[in-house]
Structure 1
Amino acid sequence: MVYIIIISTVLLFILVYVFYTGIKTAIYVRRIVNEKDKPPAFAPPSPKNVIRERFKSSLFETAITCLENEVEKDCALESIIEKLPLFLKADSWSFLLTPNNDEWRFLFWSKDLDFLPLEEVASEIQISGEHIKKVIDTKKVLFIKDTKKNSLWYQKHSLSKSWLGIPIMVKNEIIGVLNVDWFKQAKVSKFERELINYFLEDIDRVLKTVFSVSEQFLSSELDILTQVYNRKALEKYISQYKSDTSKKAVIFLDFDNFKKINDNFGHTVGDQALKILTKRIQNSIKSDDLIFRYGGDEFIIIIDEITENISIDIIIQRIKSTVKTPITFNDMLIISSISTGYCLVPEEAPDIEKAIEIADKRMYLEKEIH
């Protein structure tokens, strides 16, 4: 009789465990919903593997849909990355670009953060955001259960009670940090943390595999927003062509009062306007001329084989003309202008680095006149 009771108890425990595992798995699986179907509620033998495969499938479906519909690369990246905070049932989220040698900035975020001065927040975090810096230094996920009691946390505008920082990496290089926020204290279980690490591996694999058809997206020398060369690429160019004596022109340009566009229309519209204007500038120069995003709304253009001031004046006027053409975006009319300065190499400067310095000063002289 005692043996029967023991065996019955063991069997009951096994049944309860299997049933609990199945329900728990079904709850997690149902958070990863595809467009056309809903996952069945069943009890698989390996919950983590099933959930991971489901998530991986969802990532690839999203990426392929973006490619088929020719969605812009930053929008595709957003569609992929937002899967994590949705899965974790976060109250808000944001993705912060964290380049080594440039200003940090938020690339995209959930709608409930639209009211925040995100440029100011990004600047604050770059200076004093020890929680973000720890994620970058360790390349590991960091969870802060109570932001008010954590010494790493310092954000004036934050509503977060609990926060999760997730490093987003491509080719083992961090491109930014995904901020996952809860407005009340939350708990991230050990099971969820393990799944997050699996998801990060899959996100990295998806970005490398699917977007390999567009290597520009993965290039650490391209600005993700505008898809022109970034400051890192400019520094590499300067070092490679330090002793180059060929004739070149360096144009330094800065958008006038671009902050007003962000303030009046919002950062999302500002980003779209900057992408459109950058594309117009690209179309105003030859394909073999180089354009670099120097930082914020500042750009540098390097033009080869130019010898006369009159030629560079023509190019600058063409760029200014195309930038002045109003942009219509969601029934909003956006008008912009630029200030420029230029310098000829080697006539006015011995190298590109010195030419940038001279062109920058001349640009500010023109800006003061406006």
Structure 2
Amino acid sequence: MVYIIISIVILLILVYVFYIGIKTAIYVRRIANEKDKPPAFAPPSPKKVIRHRFKGSLFETAITCLENEVEKDYALKSIIEKLPLFLKADSWSFLLTPNNDEWRFLFWSKNLDFLPLEEVAKEIQISGEHIKRVFNTKKILFIKDTKNNTLWNQKHSLSKSWLGMPIMVKNEIIGVLNVDWFKEVKVSKFEKELINYFLEDIDRILKTIFSLNELFLSSDLDILTQVYNRKALEKYISQHKSDSSKKAVIFLDFDNFKQINDNFGHTVGDQALKLLTKRIQNSIKSDDLIFRYGGDEFVIIINEIRENNSIDIIIQRIKSTVKTPITINDILIISSISVGYCLVPQEAPDIEKAIEIADKKMYLQKEIH
């Protein structure tokens, strides 16, 4: 009698599962593309199920970012960190790899805060063969045993196994996602296929949802501070070589900013730099221009200078707003800047020469401090 009851229960479960399976297959068939429509009652392949779930997760993240109007670099972080989470990595980082500029880590997992990431990025750009292989081939690269791999010569690393993934937008690589394990692991062929699918989906979402191809590939904006970058400054210089209007060029550098990164981590340092840059922007007119020259150095071009003393007033205003303390994650940060300036055409014939003079004046002021 007991066996009959068990058999009936099992039969009912099987009928229920079969019914649910058919129902699910019908719905899957309705929403599938015509090109890849599955047979009426065939279950979808595991790869398709996982890929669709991952893609759905990416879209949910993208929509949340859009709804909350988060900054684009944070949106990018929220999207690509899905991969390290899927792979159960011990740490991860995203290295921005522009063609004609310094490489730098844009964001990373918290357990890498102790590393001198600016130095690491410079080392990798010079001698990081593992990253260069990913950058040049635009393909994923897995190193199972970093200790015994000839491509791996990275200092300051706890990684035993490493996976490098190119983050692409419109077939152009914008950076490399580093996924690290502190023990030796194996990435199966199945997982590698999934990763390549995921990278395609990330590419599609980045260019359609956030239009990051414009931000990274053709934009003149600095990704962190959202002011103009050095490429934009070079373009401005070339376009204004014969401009004879009165201008002032300000070259400024944050004092001891490296200490903020060393004491509180690069995440806090980046947030501080963004806030302080925004304050500087608010201290100048909308038609004046601010460029991130590199690191914590900035060039400001003030248009239509009529009186020499007006530039002193602007500089004092900028210094004052930078000195106002800021609080990030309950950390009080007090900053200051060293400044040099040059007037065009009184002191220099063009913008390029004015930047050179202003830079030298700024360093003289820094030495006094």
TM-score category of the 2 structures, normalised to the smaller one: 0.7 to 0.9
| Map of 1:23 onto structure 2 | none
Q: Is the 8 A contact 2:206 2:212 kept in 1?
A: no
Considering only aligned residues, what root-mean-square deviation do their CA atoms show, in Å?
1.9
Deviation readout 1:238-283 (Å, 9 max, x if unpaired) = 2222332222211110000001111111111111100100000010
DSSP-derived class of the 1:93 partner: strand
Deviation readout 1:279-301 (Å, 9 max, x if unpaired) = 00010111121111111100111
Runs of 4+ in structure 1 over 4 Å off: 213-219
Q: Which structure 1 segments of 5+ residues have no match? A: 1-42
Question: Which residues of 2 match residues 162-311 of structure 1 at below 5 A?
Answer: 162-212=161-211, 219-311=218-310
Deviation readout 1:162-181 (Å, 9 max, x if unpaired) = 11111112233322111001
| Map of 1:142 onto structure 2 | 141
| Map of 1:358 onto structure 2 | 357
| Map of 2:129 onto structure 1 | 130
Name the CA distance, whole Å, in 1 between partners of 2:337 and 2:358.
14
Question: Which residues of 2 match residues 80-91 of structure 1 at below 5 A?
Answer: 80-91=79-90
| Shift, 1:338, TM fit | 0.4
Paired AA for residue 127 in structure 1: I
| Shift, 1:352, TM fit | 1.4
User: CA 1:187–1:213 in structure 2 vs 1: closer, same or farther (change >3 Å)?
Assistant: closer
User: CA 1:283–1:215 in structure 2 vs 1: closer, same or farther (change >3 Å)?
Assistant: farther
Q: Which structure 2 segments of 5+ residues have no match? A: 1-41
| Shift, 1:219, TM fit | 4.9
| Map of 1:4 onto structure 2 | none
User: CA 1:100–1:217 in structure 2 vs 1: closer, same or farther (change >3 Å)?
Assistant: closer
TM-score by length of 2: 0.84
| Shift, 1:329, TM fit | 1.6
DSSP-derived class of the 1:253 partner: strand
Name the CA distance, whole Å, in 1 between partners of 2:61 and 2:323.
37
Name the CA distance, whole Å, in 2 between partners of 1:176 and 1:214.
12
| Shift, 1:337, TM fit | 0.3
TM-score by length of 1: 0.84
Question: Which residues of 2 match residues 20-169 of structure 1 at below 5 A?
Answer: 44-169=43-168
DSSP-derived class of the 1:224 partner: coil
Deviation readout 1:324-369 (Å, 9 max, x if unpaired) = 0000122221000001111122222222111111111011011111
Work out the number of aligned pairs and report it: 328
DSSP-derived class of the 1:60 partner: helix
| Shift, 1:195, TM fit | 1.7
| Map of 1:33 onto structure 2 | none
User: CA 1:348–1:172 in structure 2 vs 1: closer, same or farther (change >3 Å)?
Assistant: farther
Name the CA distance, whole Å, in 1 between partners of 2:119 and 2:304.
41
Paired AA for residue 319 in structure 1: I
- Is 2:338 the partner of 1:339? yes
Deviation readout 1:11-58 (Å, 9 max, x if unpaired) = xxxxxxxxxxxxxxxxxxxxxxxxxxxxxxxx9432222222211111
